[in-house]
Amino acid sequence: MTQENKPDLSSLRIDGKKRYDDRPRSRKWLILVWVLVVAAVVIAYFVLRESVTPATKVRVATVTYITGSEAKASLVASGYVVAQRKAEVASKGTGRLKYLGFEEGDTVSANEIIAELENDDIKANLELARANLVMAEADSLNTGRVYRRQKQLFESGSITQADFENAETAYALATASVTAAAASVKAAEVEFENTFIRAPFAGTILTKNADVGEMVTPFASAASSKGSVVTLADMSSLEVEADVSEANIHKVVVGQPCDIILDAYPGQSYPGRVKKIVPTADRARATVLTKVAFDQIDDRVLPEMSARVNFFQSDRPTVAVPSDNAIAVNRDAITNRDGETVVFRVIDDYVQMVPVSTGRQLADKMEIVNGLTAGDRVVISPPGKMVSGQKVEITN
């Protein structure tokens, strides 16, 4: 190759002033930014929806399990089993608990000693009072003899009237001392008796509120002291206190037959009758307290158990067979959407439209054949524009 045909390589050189950053950049980072922005917007929407979305205020009812007798009742009310004879048995005296002879579930007789306080000092005071009474009686006996002798001497003129009056006064003082000493003995006996805590009536111990070694005072004035030792109830006085709405109280009369169903034993009903309608209403809840007595009762019925009471207008119906049992809900919770019978079930703070099949009409409730289970909460009188997923706020 000749000199003329050689290429000129002098023009091939690196320009040091041209930077590497001048090359076209990748746009992947822009895509990543847009993805993050979209994700943030979506997250913000769901977070803010809880606070921004207005909630529809609704009332709810609970789907319940009812028996056949309840379906035939003219009125159903709920309440609790209570003992009409119930007492917080406390001490009249103050002291440390020395003896407690019973526990929860034990039965006691009327006037039986349940507990005893430490009473050695009170017992000593009682013995001292009795000793003072003996001394006072002896002094009275002596002054009585002196008085009688002085009286005879005064009548015979052997002593002055002043001597006789002194003997008479001494005898009166001695007699008064005997009366005072006897009163002191009585007071000491009462104080000693107050250290024994007795059952005011025959019953069953429900709770034990103090233990041996604890201080017991009549009014529990100290933070570390106990006011009552045990809670005693007469189990034969158990009855149900049920709250009946003012709007339905006209359906209840004294002596009306009822069925009592305890939540603890839903398959067992106890016959009863309305014992008393308390002549006042609860302004806050718009209810009237009704007391229902048991016609028949067994050992399974316990105080404070929750119960439902079925009130019948006429004679109590025969016991329902198991096939009469049903799942039911307030009739106002059932509505229609596009020709389909539905309810709006409340899940957390939102509603879900649930198709249901209905059966018998049970007083103010409707039997639910399928679609719901006992314990579900549903909206009462749902608005016509209510849809699934709508946020709600439950009101009383």
Task: Say yes or no to pLDDT of 125 above 90.
Answer: yes
CB 372 within 8 A of CB 325: no
Torsion of CA 382, 385, 390, 392, to 10 degrees: -40
- What class has domain 74-84+238-316? mainly beta
pLDDT of residue 118: 93
User: 6-34: per-residue pLDDT in tens?
Assistant: 555 555 555 555 554 555 555 666 777 77
Assess if CATH 3.40.50.150 describes domain 56-67+324-394: no
Task: Pick the more confident residue, 47 or 185.
Answer: 185
Do the strands 95-100 and 335-337 form a parallel or antiparallel pair, or are they unpaired? unpaired
Handedness of CA 142, 145, 151, 154 (dihedral sign): negative
Spatial distance between the Cα atoms of 146 and 167, rounded to a whole number of angstroms = 7
CATH 1.10.287.470 range(s) for the chain read 119-194
Eight-state DSSP code of residue 391: B
Task: Return d(Cα 216, Cα 219) in angstroms, integer.
Answer: 9
Mean pLDDT, the chain, rounded, equals: 84
Domain with CATH 2.40.420.20 in the chain: 56-67+324-394
The answer for residues whose C-beta is within 8 angstroms of residue 2's C-beta and 6 or more apart is none
Interval 271-312: pLDDT, tens? 999 999 999 999 988 999 999 999 999 989 999 999 989 898
In this prediction, residues 346-360 reach a mean pLDDT of: 89
Which has the closest alpha carbon to 382: 62, 59, 53, 55? Answer: 59
**What is the distance between the alpha carbons of residues 364 and 342, in angstroms, rounded to a whole number?**
18
Residues of CATH 2.40.30.170 domain(s) within the chain?
Answer: 74-84+238-316
Pick the CATH number of 88-117+195-233 from 3.30.70.3420, 3.30.70.920, 2.40.50.100, 1.20.120.1200: 2.40.50.100
Whole-angstrom distance, CA of residue 6 vs CA of residue 341 = 97
User: Average of pLDDT values for 204-213?
Assistant: 91
4 — pLDDT class (breaks 50, 70, 90): low
Tokens 């879900």 -> residue = 352
| Beta carbons within 10 angstroms of residue 374's beta carbon | 14
Output the pLDDT for position 13: 57
Burial of 395 (0-12, 13-18, 19+ CB in 10 A): exposed
**Could you tell me the pTM of the whole model?**
0.58
Q: Which CATH class is domain 119-194?
A: mainly alpha
- Band (pLDDT 50/70/90 cuts) for residue 200 is very high
Helix, strand, coil in percent for the chain, rounding step 5:
30, 35, 35
**Strand 56-62 and strand 392-394: pairing?**
parallel
In tens, the pLDDT along 48-99 reads: 555 556 788 889 988 887 766 666 777 888 899 999 999 999 888 888 999 9
Which residue has tokens 């000129």? 8
322: pLDDT confidence band, cut at 50, 70 and 90? Answer: very low
Which of 90-99, 137-146, 205-214, 310-319 bottoms out in mean pLDDT, i.e. has the lowest? 310-319
Amino acid at 144: G
Region 206-226 average pLDDT: 78
Q: What was the pLDDT predicted at 321?
A: 38
pLDDT digits (tens, 9 = 90+) for 235-249: 999 999 999 989 889
Query: Where exactly does CATH 2.40.50.100 map onto the chain?
Result: 88-117+195-233
Query: Does the pLDDT at position 325 exceed 90?
Result: no
